[in-house]
Amino acid sequence: MIALLLRDLNLAVRAGGGFGLGLAFFLIVTVLVPFGVGPEGAILSTIAPGILWVGALLACLLSLDRIFALDFEDGSLDLLATAPIPLEGVVAMKAAAHWFTTGLPLTLAAPVLGLLLNLDGAGYGWLVASLALGTPALSMIGTFGAALTVGLKRGGLLLSLLVLPLYVPTLIFGAETVKRGADGMATGTALMMLGAITLAASALLPFAAAAAIRINLR
C-alpha cells in the first residue's frame, strides 16, 4: 500500500498529475476576483471565505480524471484489480495521493492567498482548519467519480457533472466555518458537519469506488 502511495506521488510530481496545476489555478482565481468585484476591502472580506473555498474545490476538480486514467491506459489497473491486496485499499491510497498532491498544498497556500482577498485576521486559523478537514472529502468523492468514469473517452465533463453536486455540502460547511470564525461566532456545528462528511466519505466511498472499477473492467 505504501509503495502504491509513493508511486502515485511520484507520478503526480513527474508526469503532470496536478501537483502544480491546482496551486496555479487557485492563485489565478484569487488574483482575478478583486479585478472582477473591485478593490473595496469590505466587499472582499465578506466574499473571501466563499471564494477561497470555491477556488480550492475547483482546483481539486482539475486533476481528478488522472487518478485512474494512467493506470487504465497502461494496464496497471487490471493488475491492481486482480492483486491480492484489497481494491478498496488501492482506492484509498489513490485518494490519499490526490490529497497529498492537491488538497494539502491548497491548504498550506490558502492563508497567503487570503491576504489578497482581505480575509479577516480571525478567519485564517479556521480557513486552514476547514480546508484540512474538508479537502480529504473532496479527494475521496473525486476518486469515486473517477472510478465511475474510468475507461470512458472524454469522461472529464461527465466526471465534473457527477462530482460537483456531491461537493456542495462540503463547500457549504467549509465556507460557513470560515465565515463564522472571521465574524467571531461559534464554528462547532459547521466544523463537526464537515468532519462528518469526511468520515462518511472515507468509510463508504472506497467500497463504492472499488465496485465501480470492477464493473468498468469487465
Each residue of 155-190: pLDDT tens digit? 678 888 899 999 999 999 999 999 999 998 999 999
Using a 10 angstrom Cβ sphere, with 0-12 exposed, 13-18 middle and 19 or more buried, the burial of residue 50 is middle
> pLDDT category, 23, cuts 50, 70, 90?
confident
> pLDDT category, 192, cuts 50, 70, 90?
very high
Residue extents of the structural domains in the chain? 2-216
Task: Please check whether residue 62 is in contact with residue 142, taking contact to mean a CB–CB distance below 8 angstroms.
Answer: no
Task: Please check whether residue 174 is in contact with residue 53, taking contact to mean a CB–CB distance below 8 angstroms.
Answer: yes
Of the listed ranges 1-5, 55-59, 195-199, the one predicted with least confidence: 1-5
Identity of the highest mean pLDDT range in 35-39, 76-80, 140-144: 140-144
Taking alpha carbons only, the member of 64, 62, 65 closest to residue 27 is: 62
> In 10 A of CB 107, how many CB atoms?
21
Dihedral of the alpha carbons of 83, 88, 89, 93, in degrees to the nearest 10: 110
What confidence tens digit (pLDDT) does each residue in 111-136 have?
999 998 999 989 999 999 999 999 99
Task: Please check whether residue 206 is in contact with residue 199, taking contact to mean a CB–CB distance below 8 angstroms.
Answer: no
pTM over 0.95: no
Residue 30: is its pLDDT beyond 60? Answer: yes
Q: Look over the chain and give the mean of its residue pLDDT values, rounded to a whole number.
A: 88
> In 10 A of CB 170, how many CB atoms?
26
Grid cell of 167 as nine digits:
461537493
Cβ neighbours of residue 103 closer than 8 Å, sequence gap 6 or more: 56, 60, 131, 135, 136, 138, 139
Query: What does the alpha-carbon distance between residue 64 and residue 48 come to, in Å, rounded to a whole number?
Result: 25
Query: What does the alpha-carbon distance between residue 206 and residue 192 come to, in Å, rounded to a whole number?
Result: 22
Task: Please check whether residue 127 is in contact with residue 176, taking contact to mean a CB–CB distance below 8 angstroms.
Answer: no
Grid cell of 52 as nine digits:
477561497
The size of the chain, in residues, is 218
Of the listed ranges 88-92, 151-155, 188-192, 198-202, the one predicted with least confidence: 151-155
What confidence tens digit (pLDDT) does each residue in 51-101 have?
999 999 999 988 888 888 878 877 788 888 887 889 899 899 999 989 999
